[in-house]
Each structure stands twice: as C-alpha cells, then as structure tokens.
Amino acid sequence: MNRNDRIIEVLRRKIPTFACEPGCHDCCGPVTASSEEMARLPLRADAEHEAALAAWSCPHLGPEGCRVYAERPLICRLFGTTPSLPCPRGKRPEAMIDARTEQAIHRYLEQTRQVLV
C-alpha cells in the first residue's frame, strides 16, 4: 500500500456516515478523484463515460444507486457531511465532519492528480 492509499484509508475512517434517501441520486454527478481512488473502481468504457457526462451523471451509477459505494471517492463521501456540500434532501450525519478532517481531504485532493470519474 503506497502513501496515498494509506492517506485515503485514514481520511475515509474520519468521514461521518449517514443513510441516504433510498433511490436518491442528487449528489451523483461528474466528479474527479485521485489516481489511487480510480484504481479501486472498475474500468468503464469510454462510451459509458461519455454517456454519463452527457447526462450529467456518473458512470458508476446504476438503477439501484451507486455500484461502487464501498469504494466511492472521497469527494462523494463528503456530500451531506459538510455545510459546503449539503445533501439536497436534507440528510446528514448526527455530527458533521470536523473542520480539520475536511481541510485534510481538500489538501489531499489539491496535492494529487485528479481525473474525471
């Protein structure tokens, strides 16, 4: 496991969780992720990426929701846990993410090569 993989694991454990509204995909759209995060996701064909982008969606979104939920990128995990990325449906964890962890995530995202999911 390389340094960035370890950082991802540490940051993931610090992001509070909550139950999304079943069937909601309001936060699922084009996002960027680090190369390490992308390596954890199944490959999608260029046509799937293009179709998802044209629909302002994510190529990993299926009829039942996120098909890569356990490996979703940090940016996806932040939605609904911070006032800067609120859930459009008002869902949230009992306690929002602490400012230090959110800042650490943004620093990680700034310091790594980001690619379109």
Tokens 């995060």 map to which residue? Answer: 37
Q: What is the pTM of this model?
A: 0.92
Return the C-alpha torsion angle 25, 56, 88, 44, nearest 10: 40
Parts of the chain with a pLDDT under 50: none
Residue spans per domain, the chain = 3-116
The pLDDT score that the predictor gives to residue 24 is 87
The pLDDT score that the predictor gives to residue 109 is 93
The model's pLDDT over 36-67, given as tens digits with 9 standing for 90+, comes to 999 999 999 999 999 999 999 999 999 888 99
The pLDDT score that the predictor gives to residue 7 is 96
The pLDDT score that the predictor gives to residue 42 is 95
